[in-house]
Amino acid sequence: MKKKILLLIYFLTIFNFISFGNKHSSAQNYLKVANSYFKDSSLYYKTIFFAKKALKSAEKKQNFSEILQSLELIGFGYTETFINNDIAAFYLKKALKIAKNQKFNNEIPKLELYIESNKILRGNGENSLKKVYQLLNYFEKKNDKEWQIKAEICIVTLYHIQNKKIEIIKEENKVLKLCKNNNYKTEESYSMIRMANHYIDVNEFEKALSILKTIPSKYNNLTFGYGYIKYLACLTDYYQLEGNNKLCIYYSLIGIEEAKKYNCKAELFDFQTNLGFTYLSEKNIEAAKKIGDDIIKTTEFIKNKRLKMLKFYYLSAVNYEDKNYKKAFEYQDTCYYFQDSVISEANSNKIEEIRTIYETSKKDERIKSLSKEKQLANYRFYFFIAGFVVILLILGFIVNYFINKLKREKIAANHQKEIVELETGKKIKALEIQILYAQMNPHFVFNCLTAIQHLFLSGDRQNANSKLNSFSRLLRLSIDHVKNDYVTLESELKFLKHYIDLEQLQFKEAFKFELINNLEEDLEDLLIPSMMLQPYVENAINHGLKTKKVDCVLTMTLNELENNIEIIIEDNGIGRIEAAKVKANSSHQHESRGLSLVHEKILALKDLYGDTVEVSTSDLTDKDENPCGTRVNLLFSKKIN
């Protein structure tokens, strides 16, 4: 019996010792697995999973070395997956704090590099280049080739975001040289993919295709796992921009299956959006809608702002093509909160329709309120007269009757004046909205979006983004201006700059615009009636310059005349007489109501505020009395903001 008890105690002791040993080494085991996934670059999601297990175990033992390693790998993994850069920043900063407190000096530069990389990926890396170069210099002195390569990749990423094409090639060649010299095959393969992506971006498709054909045979990691997914993503981008929809769809479907297999959410999203936009280009609306449902599921737990913005942009595009304009507007409006974006023609009209209803109902409520106040004032007056009659009898009644009659007439006159002013204000607001519709007419919006789409399809992304930004700001300023009867001269000129920028995009031969400012005051300190200048500029471009086509110049001059501001809009076009002939012979006669609406607004402003705006138009001639353009003089009373 004693022997059995002793044997039982012995086995229990051995079991506890083994269990204690396993618990003691569990964090190290998890870290080994997490490190293997991270260095292999096959599955960063598993790196995060095992690093979190290691962190939990290390925190129980208060082993700061293992805690630091766990936090590092979690932060590195989140940064590489692009899914949640905010969480990545949280873990990296926590790890940096521990490294500094516990004097782990060798880990500090690595964490600082990933923190700068995270800033760059989040779009906050304007000041990161100097810091990254300092860290690169540190790793070079330490002869740490692995982190030297990571620093160079960080610089390449920043140059990609800033679209610096020459610097991208220069830095990427440095990365390739380092990888080849030190036998870092995985990073070398990813560098080749980035090179291919760069050539796709600059429309050098032959160079991109040459790389894409050769790299699978050189690098084994691109035939499976995360590397294969990156390779497929590059292929789909290539075939989409080249316009080969069949191959784009084929490789996108393969990429979706691979990304699902390895739970790569960001890459799955990219494949789905590429596939969806390809279906849209083929007018396969049902297939595009199905992809939209898949994208919603994919991004359910993703907190990356870029991916969210692209998701809502895609859903808006699908619903717009499906003629479901209400949903298209809702998705586009949500997209607006994540990044500057373009609101489609239908959305713009919907916003203005809602604003019109709101402004009109607000004016009507005020008129009703004034009418009720008038009735209440009359009731009070009658009660006052009755009490006064009782006290002062007939004499008091007669005196107060005439006094209060005058008061009543004055109150009625004041109320009538307020009602007239409110009605005039409603008229001005309605005119401003009509002017906005005249400015943002479907023909103009369609031409702008078509031209911008052409730039995207032709690969000129930088110019396309610039014009897209101008279009977005033009719409936003239009909405802002319609709220106010008066805006600053600076704001009105900004609006005109974006409008002219888009008009130049549609010109076969771009016309030149010159602004001559002879004013002493700052433009932000001067007020002019809103939405007043654009119709004259539009008229100069459409009827003066577009027919001339070459050597076209549009000039705007700002002068100060006593207590007035003079704005001169001058074009060197064909003149009003020739323009009238061209219009008479044209089969397509677009009738813009912009100028007539502006004249109505000038009269309404005079009635409401007493302000006058003088407008005169004259023909320009050369020394032989031949027409050589048109000049419009607008004279505004100076208003200080």
CATH of the domain at 21: 1.25.40.10
Is the same domain home to 129 and 31?
Answer: no
Asked if pLDDT for residue 218 goes beyond 70, the answer is yes
Model pLDDT for residues 403-453, shown as the tens digit of each residue: 877 777 776 666 566 655 556 555 555 555 555 545 555 656 766 777 777
Is the same domain home to 116 and 142?
Answer: no
46 domain-assigned:
yes
199-207's contacts with Cβ under 8 Å and 24+ in sequence apart are 200/234, 200/237, 200/238, 200/241, 201/459, 201/461, 202/165, 202/459, 203/241, 203/458, 203/459, 205/238, 205/241, 205/242
Task: Name the one residue in this structure whose structure tokens are 């975001």.
Answer: 161
Q: Work out the percent of the chain whose per-residue pLDDT is above 70.
A: 78
Last residue of a domain, one of 97, 123, 149: 123
459 domain-assigned:
no
481 domain-assigned:
yes
Is the same domain home to 46 and 169?
Answer: no
257 domain-assigned:
no
Locate all alpha helices (DSSP H) within 182-224, ordered by sequence: 185-201, 205-218
CA dihedral 316, 318, 320, 326 (to 10 degrees): -60
Residue 413 has a pLDDT of 63
263 domain-assigned:
no
42 domain-assigned:
yes
Is the same domain home to 507 and 611?
Answer: yes
- Among candidates 137, 94, 92, 139, which has minimal Cα distance to 118? 92
Looking at 13-17, 37-41, 64-68, which range is the least confident one? 13-17
User: Which two structure tokens, joined as six digits, stand for 341?
Assistant: 């974006």
Range of the domain at 183: 125-223
Residue 351 has a pLDDT of 34
Calpha distance 254→258 (Å, rounded): 6
Last residue of a domain, one of 223, 250, 275: 223
Is the same domain home to 19 and 117?
Answer: yes
What's the domain count of the chain?
3
Is the same domain home to 612 and 507?
Answer: yes
3-state secondary structure of 516: strand
Is the same domain home to 164 and 48?
Answer: no
Is the same domain home to 96 and 177?
Answer: no
Asked if pLDDT for residue 201 goes beyond 70, the answer is yes
230 domain-assigned:
no
Residue 362 has a pLDDT of 47
Is the same domain home to 14 and 143?
Answer: no
Last residue of a domain, one of 70, 101, 123: 123
Instruction: Say how many residues make up the chain.
Output: 641
Is the same domain home to 151 and 48?
Answer: no
232 domain-assigned:
no
pTM: 0.46
Average pLDDT, stretch 474-489? 81
Average pLDDT, stretch 349-353? 36
Residue 84 has a pLDDT of 65
Is the same domain home to 583 and 484?
Answer: yes
Calpha distance 344→317 (Å, rounded): 9
User: Residue 120: which residues within 8 A CB-CB, separation 6 or more?
Assistant: 128, 154, 157, 158, 161
